[in-house]
Amino acid sequence: MKGELPYQEIERKIGYTFQDKRLLKEAFTHSSYSNQGGGRSNERLEYLGDSVLQLIVTEWQYLRDKNASEGKLTARRQKIVCKNALDSAVDALGIWQYLLSSGTEYNIRGKAKSSLFEAVTAAIYLDGGYAAAKSFVLEHGNVRFEVHEGNPKGDLKEFLEKRGAGEPRYEVEKTGKDNAPLFHCKAYALGESATGEGKTKREAESTAASRLLWELSKNPKFANMKKKK
C-alpha cells in the first residue's frame, strides 16, 4: 500500500485508538518505504514489540497454568509467538493490506507480516502502556486458543465435528522450481477460508488449517455453535 494510512479504519480493526498517530504510521512503515523517504521504518518498534509480546505471553501462561514446568511453558510460548502464529493474527485482523511499502507483496513477505504484529504491539505499548498492549495481544495475538500447538488439521476437524459441520476442504497449488518448491494452500469450512504457504504440502495445509481455526474460533457465531441433535 502507498500513501496516507486510513487511521480510523485501522484503529477500529485493532480495537485501539492512538493518541500519537505517528506511532501508528511508524508501525505500518516497511523499510522499503522508509528507504525512499517514507519516514522511520517499523524495525525499532518490531524490536521492542518482540520483548513486550514475550512478556505478555509469559505472564499470561505463568498465571494461567500454575503446575506447568518451565520447559513446557517455554515450548508453548514459542508456539504462540512463532512466525506462523503472528501471521495468522495479522490475517485475522485484516491489517496486512495497510502496510506502507515500495515493493511487491512477494518481495516484502518474509518476516514482514509477523513483524507488523510486533510493531503494532510496541506502538500500543508506547502510546497507551502495558495494560493496553496486553489487552491487544490477549484479544488478537492467537494466545487464548493456542491453535498452533499439536495437530492443526486434526484440531480443525475436531472443531467442526463438535459443531456438526462437514470436513474442511483444501486446495493446494505448487509454484517455484523443482529443487525449491513452494506450496500454497487454501482451506475452506463453514463458508470461511484461510491461506497458508510452506516448503511442503503438509506444511502449507497445516498453516492454512491453523489460520482457519483461529478465525473460526474468534467468531462468536462459530465459537458458540453447537451440534444439532
Both 156 and 131 in a single domain?
Answer: no
Q: What is the reported pLDDT for 193?
A: 92
pLDDT at residue 60 is higher than 50: yes
CA 83/CA 36 separation, integer angstroms: 27
In this predicted model, which residue has the larger pLDDT, 134 or 150? 134
CA 223/CA 229 separation, integer angstroms: 18
Catalytic residue, chosen from 26, 87, 91, 118, is: 118
Portion of the chain with pLDDT greater than 90, in percent: 41
**Model pTM greater than 0.85?**
no
Catalytic residue, chosen from 26, 46, 50, 91, is: 50
In a domain, 145, yes or no: no
In a domain, 146, yes or no: no
Count the residues in the chain: 229
Q: Can 178 be counted among the known catalytic residues?
A: no
Both 16 and 80 in a single domain?
Answer: yes
Q: What is the reported pLDDT for 148?
A: 46
CA 77/CA 70 separation, integer angstroms: 10
CA 183/CA 8 separation, integer angstroms: 35
Reduced to 3 states, what is the DSSP secondary structure of residue 58? Answer: helix
Q: Which of 140, 172, 199 is the last residue of a domain?
A: 140
pLDDT at residue 116 is higher than 90: yes
Nearest to 53 by CA among 115, 122, 114, 113: 122
Cα 66 to Cα 39, 70, 117: the distances in Å are 45, 10, 28
Nearest to 54 by CA among 102, 125, 4, 1: 125
The mean pLDDT value for 102-120 works out to 76
For residue range 171-195, what is the model confidence (pLDDT) as tens digits? 999 988 888 888 999 999 999 998 8
Q: What is the reported pLDDT for 195?
A: 87
In a domain, 229, yes or no: no
CA dihedral 9, 10, 11, 13 (to 10 degrees): 90
pLDDT at residue 20 is higher than 90: yes
In this predicted model, which residue has the larger pLDDT, 69 or 119? 119
Residue 28 lies in domain: 7-140
All three cell numbers of 226, joined, read 453447537
Q: Can 118 be counted among the known catalytic residues?
A: yes
